[in-house]
Amino acid sequence: MPAKISFPLNTFQPLGIGYIAAVLLKNGYEVEIFDVLAEGYDCEKIVERGKYRYVGLPKKEIKKRIKMFSPNIVGITVPFTAQAKSGHEMAQLVKSVNCRIKVILGGTYPTAYADIVMNDKNVDFTAIGEGELTFLELVKKIERNDKKLHHIKGLVFRKGGKIIVNQPRPPLMDLDNYSVAWELFPMKKYFEAAYKIKSSRSISTFGKRWATIFTSRGCPFQCTFCAGHLVMGRIWRPRSVENVITEMEYLIEKYQIQHFDIEDDNFTLDKNRAKTICREIIKKSWKIEWSTPNGIRADTVDEELIRKMKRAGCVRIIVAPESGNQWVVNNLMNKNINLNYVKKVVRWCQKYNLLVAHCQYLYRVLVF
């Protein structure tokens, strides 16, 4: 997904389409992941009178690649609303190559604004929430030219000029049965981007071979500012420790990964599970580092867990109080976290020399 934005946006491994691709491969479909942003991370130009930066492969090259693969269906991920314009432009570009290609948009932006997305005639379908099974069921229908789509949960489509929103799809509960099609990602490009400070987590991954992973999905909390639940839901679903360690081992052996970004919304929600993951990493004696860039809730950790995280290679965590005012945290943000405990967690991190960051910039916004 290229980006046409007014602020920096660097490469990241889009795990959502990686999971969808793996499901399709498992069911016998030919799949290719074309990460336009990663492959063109060093292609940047100012557009629209200096208002936006376009980062990604040139459109001419994108069209060429689409023609080479000659797909029947193209799925476009739009994880950020800031990329909405690029998402719609990509849909138009695909249709300009071949108007018969079916275009599906997924990600946080299409999930939140499905009605707006479906007003774009270049978009045939929108997948709401987790897309693995929605995408698979839709592909099977398209393959059979079966136009009865009402029973595909999580799907938005048009019929007779009317936008149809199907029932939402329940969260996937058996996460050990799903994996990422890592072999389809341009891994070397992510490593190059990290070296040139063009990766999304460059502060932790500079110069390293890195990978992002989810060890769990979902968040049970009701914070008013967060949109994560739109895709991942409010039910926290962990992968088994064995499944997580197996994926990490695969990435270390195949790609010599040196740093992992654990992208969970709630990696430490189950303290005992987090401690077990740390113990298993320590047992493996891997020479790796890892971080939790999406942040952790301070009240889900204790000193023992902080100590184990450090021993297991954790180099940076983000503790997100969101505000320095307890009333704001409780009443406006509905986060209900004790700020005094946040201070305690920060002191533990300092004690064990674990770099900790927090959302201090939000304090200024809230004061305004």
Q: Are residues 363 and 221 in the same domain?
A: yes
In a domain, 180, yes or no: no
Does some domain include residue 269? yes
The mean pLDDT of 187-202, rounded to a whole number, is: 86
Q: Residue 360 pLDDT more than 80? A: no
pLDDT of residue 175: 98
254-275 pLDDT, tens digit per residue, is: 999 999 999 999 999 999 999 9
CA distance 12 to 190: 7
pLDDT digits (tens, 9 = 90+) for 30-56: 999 999 999 998 888 777 665 667 788
Give the model's pLDDT for residue 364. Answer: 30
Question: Looking at the 3D structure of the chain, how many domains does it have?
Answer: 2
- The helix/strand/coil state of 59 is helix
Does 339 map to a domain? yes
Cβ neighbours of residue 103 under 8 Å, at least 6 residues apart?
73, 74, 76, 91, 94, 95, 122, 123, 124, 125
Given a cut of 90, whether residue 358 has pLDDT beyond it is no
Note whether 252 and 336 are same-domain residues: yes
Of the pLDDT bands very low, low, confident and very high (cuts 50, 70, 90), residue 368 is very low
pLDDT, residue 205, reads: 77
Q: Indicate the pLDDT class of residue 346, thresholds 50, 70 and 90.
A: very high
Domain region containing 209: 201-367
Query: Quick one: pLDDT band at residue 7, thresholds 50, 70, 90?
Result: very low
pLDDT at 362 over 60: no
Q: What pLDDT score does 1 carry? A: 55
Taking every pair of Cα atoms in the chain, the longest distance, rounded to a whole number of angstroms, is: 64
- Are residues 90 and 236 both part of a single domain? no
pLDDT at 210 over 70: yes
359 assigned to some structural domain:
yes
Statement to judge: residues 155 and 249 lie in one domain = no
Quick one: angle between helices 132-143 and 15-26, nearest 10? 50
Domain boundary among 143, 165, 187: 165
Out of 114, 138, 165, a domain closes at: 165
For residue 339, CA distances in Å to 319, 330, 335 come to 11, 10, 11
14 and 135, same domain (yes or no): yes
Whole-angstrom Cα distance, residue 233 to residue 220?
A: 8
The pLDDT value given to residue 366? 29
Strands 155-159 and 162-165 come out as: antiparallel
Interval 138-152: pLDDT, tens = 999 999 999 999 999
pLDDT at 361: 38
User: Which band of pLDDT confidence, cut at 50, 70 and 90, is reported for residue 203?
Assistant: confident
> What's 345's domain CATH number?
3.20.20.70
Residues 348 and 241 placed together within one structural domain of the fold: yes
267 occurs within a structural domain: yes
223 or 361, which is more confident?
223
**Buried-state track 36-74, b at ≥16 Cβ within 10 A, e below 16:** bbbbbbeeeeeeeeeebbbbbbeeeebeeebeeeebebb
Residues 290, 209 contacting (CB under 8 angstroms): no
Please give the average per-residue pLDDT across 176-196, as a whole number: 95
* Residue 328 covered by a domain: yes
Q: Region 120-148: what's the mean pLDDT?
A: 97
Non-local (6+) Cβ contacts of 351 within 8 A are 303, 306
127: left (phi over 0), alpha (psi -120 to 50) or beta: beta
Percent of the chain with pLDDT over 90: 76
pTM for this structure? 0.92
Q: Side by side, which strands form the sheet with 155-159?
A: 73-77, 102-106, 125-127, 155-159, 162-165
Residue 334's contacts (CB-CB under 8 Å, 6 or more residues apart) are 222, 223, 224
Phi/psi of residue 132, each to 5°?
A: -55, -55
Q: pLDDT of 260-319, one tens digit each?
A: 999 999 999 999 999 999 999 999 999 999 999 988 999 999 999 999 999 999 999 999
Which span out of 64-73, 192-201, 216-225 was modeled with the highest average pLDDT? Answer: 64-73
Distance CA 361, CA 347 (A): 20
Residue 64 has pLDDT above 80, yes or no: yes
What pLDDT shows up at residue 48? 67
Mean pLDDT score of the chain, rounded to an integer? Answer: 91
Confidence at residue 201, expressed as pLDDT on a 0 to 100 scale: 72
Indicate left, alpha or beta for 218 from its phi (over 0: left) and psi (-120 to 50: alpha).
Answer: left
From first CA to last CA, the distance across the chain in angstroms is 34
Is residue 142 domain-shared with residue 257, that is, in the same domain? no
- pLDDT at residue 352, as a whole number: 96
